[in-house]
Structure 1
């Protein structure tokens, strides 16, 4: 059984040394000697549109955290500093602390709380490396009490010989999942293909990941009892006879692409739709709920279209919005849907043009004191009378009222 009184004492001693060595000495020393202050300013300046929302105090905390990470990370400057004359003049316990830290590098980690064995102590799991570790952090309780439970934490942590402790601001996310973080990382760096590459990217430049704090309080979106999440996957394949699918799908076609809306689940909140590109022979399945996605995959399988239920993208709306804000660009995940939206808009514009033309013919008839022949007028302009009867009759009646006045 863990001796938490002993571990807490080690944490308190470690905090005192951290303040004395890092905050009161190395922070300014590294800023001046290795220009880390200027480097941090340059890195953070890229995201000034985010930082400005939270004020100078938040900027100062992030700047300090960035500098300390550069010192204490694997291969950080602390190893070089141990050889400096300014360090050799420190008290033995401080030199020993620095030597121990150089052998136990600090790191940023995206982690989940697995349990709380004691007040201010948490069993954490790094969601990308899978490592489990004991963390001491009184701040977690304060953040949760103020903002509510968090699904994921992003912290800079260091080892004190007994457990890990945080340094600098803590970011707790109300709705971000590991899939959300991985999506953000790949949008930030298209070379990232696995968790190992993501961890290296964070270590190389943590500043964009620090900015995820901007979406930390955004909650999960639940609609009609379903948690909304953009689920998308794509695979190679052909659909030999799309017409056979019309019993289960609402089928439309434009520009070489079939849109297959799963009946009953094509609408809110699921929006389960597949797209079949004839030329590329690719099939993309999309939905806004896991239920919609799984039902879509099952329905496609009935027609020989096999797609993996382990989707390429699982993305919450909160991360989608936050990533676009941080990166200052739109992230369009379903470009094929835009083809059909544009086609629908063009069809609506054409319909309105024909209705306007019909109104002109009706005015001529009414002015000549004749009863407009709706079927003849609709046929003349090429518009469906059956689908537009109410609208056409309203136009005619409004015209008659104006003429009579």
Structure 2
């Protein structure tokens, strides 16, 4: 039987040694000699426009994390520094501690909690490698006491008994493995697999550290469904329109056929298929997993190769994050605009006001504070109830918002 109290005492001792040897000596010593802080800042400057979104005090912390990773990663600098006279002159216990840390390479891990066998101990599973590992962390419990977490991002090192985190604990409320992979492919088109993602992360973790600027983006729910952009595509030489019309609403515009369904094309699912004659492809998009799967099932007889599981699955906050951090506009429904109708002036004004309301609410939500509905209503000219209903539809937080707005 695992003696978690014994392991805890060992971990706490290792944490004290980490502060003494790494935080107070080796990171500064190696960092200065290798010019690692300068390298880190150089890599960070790519995202200078988004750095302000980092949690308070994180820049110094992730600088230290970056240096520690350079030291202890696979093929890292620690082997070199174990031979430095200054390092060899450390207290024998401290030097042995560094040798222990160097035995197993440190790595960044995107992971999920699978179980908690004891207080502050977590069985984690890396979402890209599938590896499970025992992690000791007092910080994780503190974060979970504040809010739910979909995905964790940590620099972890093995101490001989279990793994421990070093540096800030990355935690995301609305990003999951699919989101991170999607972000990685937008970051660098050469990333096409979990292996290439890991290789990039090992060489340069800074773009993934930037994910923390979107850590507090809320998970959006609508009528009990998780709102997520899902897309799938397959080749299709032709489609039987007459048979299709018996089960679906079919519209045509500019060589594209839009296929919608009475149930699954309505909110919150908004599942629609588009058949493009020129490219002989059919694509299916939806805003819920259920909408995609049910629509794909209904279309199976017409498009047998349409994937039952989507090719792309990304939460809407990640699309916002990519726009802010990578300065890229993501369009996963390229044919939808062909079927848009020019709104009447009054409708256009209403849509403009609704967009302004959402933009005003977003900073409140990102900071974990309920939006001031009265202020938004006054600015946009919309009734308070309309603003509350809009935000309920998008964020699933109507009760909290109404209470805040009517105080």
After superposition, give the CA deviation of every residue in 1:97-119 in whole Å (9 maximum; x if it has no partner). 22222221111101111111111
Q: Aligned-pair distance for 1:324? A: 2.0
| The structure with more radius of gyration | 1
User: For the Cα contact (< 8 Å) 2:240–2:302, is it kept in 1?
Assistant: no
Match of 1:40 in 2: 40
Structure 1 vs Structure 2 CA RMSD? 1.9
Matches within 5 A, 1:207-218: 207-218=206-217
Q: Aligned-pair distance for 1:348? A: 7.1
Match of 2:85 in 1: 85
SS, match of residue 52 in structure 1:
helix
Match of 2:312 in 1: 313
- Counterparts of 2:36 and 2:327, CA distance in 1: 26
Match of 2:274 in 1: 275
Distance 1:242 1:305, change over 3 A: farther
Q: Aligned-pair distance for 1:304? A: 4.6
Flag structure 2 segments of 5+ consecutive residues without an equivalent. Answer: 346-407
Match of 2:192 in 1: 193
Match of 2:22 in 1: 22
Q: Aligned-pair distance for 1:284? A: 0.5
User: For the Cα contact (< 8 Å) 1:61–1:168, is it kept in 2?
Assistant: yes
Matches within 5 A, 1:294-373: 294-341=293-340, 344-345=341-342
User: For the Cα contact (< 8 Å) 2:55–2:213, is it kept in 1?
Assistant: no
Q: Aligned-pair distance for 1:167? A: 0.7
User: For the Cα contact (< 8 Å) 1:227–1:289, is it kept in 2?
Assistant: yes
Q: Aligned-pair distance for 1:91? A: 2.1
- Counterparts of 1:276 and 1:53, CA distance in 2: 40
Distance 1:131 1:55, change over 3 A: closer
- Counterparts of 1:126 and 1:140, CA distance in 2: 16
After superposition, give the CA deviation of every residue in 1:262-308 in whole Å (9 maximum; x if it has no partner). 23322211111111111111111111112211121122113254312
Distance 1:60 1:271, change over 3 A: same
Match of 2:100 in 1: 100
- Counterparts of 1:233 and 1:222, CA distance in 2: 22
SS, match of residue 193 in structure 1:
coil
Match of 1:11 in 2: 11
Match of 2:144 in 1: 144
Flag structure 1 segments of 5+ consecutive residues without an equivalent. Answer: 350-405
Q: Aligned-pair distance for 1:249? A: 2.0
User: For the Cα contact (< 8 Å) 1:239–1:305, is it kept in 2?
Assistant: no
User: For the Cα contact (< 8 Å) 1:64–1:168, is it kept in 2?
Assistant: yes
- Counterparts of 2:218 and 2:108, CA distance in 1: 23
- Counterparts of 1:33 and 1:304, CA distance in 2: 61
Match of 1:259 in 2: 258
Match of 2:242 in 1: 243
- Counterparts of 1:56 and 1:117, CA distance in 2: 32
- Counterparts of 2:64 and 2:227, CA distance in 1: 37
Does 1 or 2 have the higher relative contact order (CA < 8 Å, sep 6+)? 2
- Counterparts of 1:207 and 1:262, CA distance in 2: 44
Match of 2:381 in 1: none
Match of 1:219 in 2: 218
User: For the Cα contact (< 8 Å) 1:297–1:306, is it kept in 2?
Assistant: no
- Counterparts of 2:332 and 2:230, CA distance in 1: 10
SS, match of residue 59 in structure 2:
helix
SS, match of residue 335 in structure 1:
coil
SS, match of residue 306 in structure 2:
coil
Match of 1:363 in 2: none
Aligned residues: 346
Q: Aligned-pair distance for 1:94? A: 2.0
- Counterparts of 1:184 and 1:261, CA distance in 2: 29
Q: Aligned-pair distance for 1:56? A: 6.3
After superposition, give the CA deviation of every residue in 1:239-262 in whole Å (9 maximum; x if it has no partner). 343233112222222222111122
Match of 2:183 in 1: 184
- Counterparts of 2:56 and 2:143, CA distance in 1: 20
- Counterparts of 2:12 and 2:265, CA distance in 1: 57
After superposition, give the CA deviation of every residue in 1:164-195 in whole Å (9 maximum; x if it has no partner). 11111101112222111111111112122221
- Counterparts of 2:317 and 2:62, CA distance in 1: 22
Q: Aligned-pair distance for 1:65? A: 0.9
Match of 1:153 in 2: 152
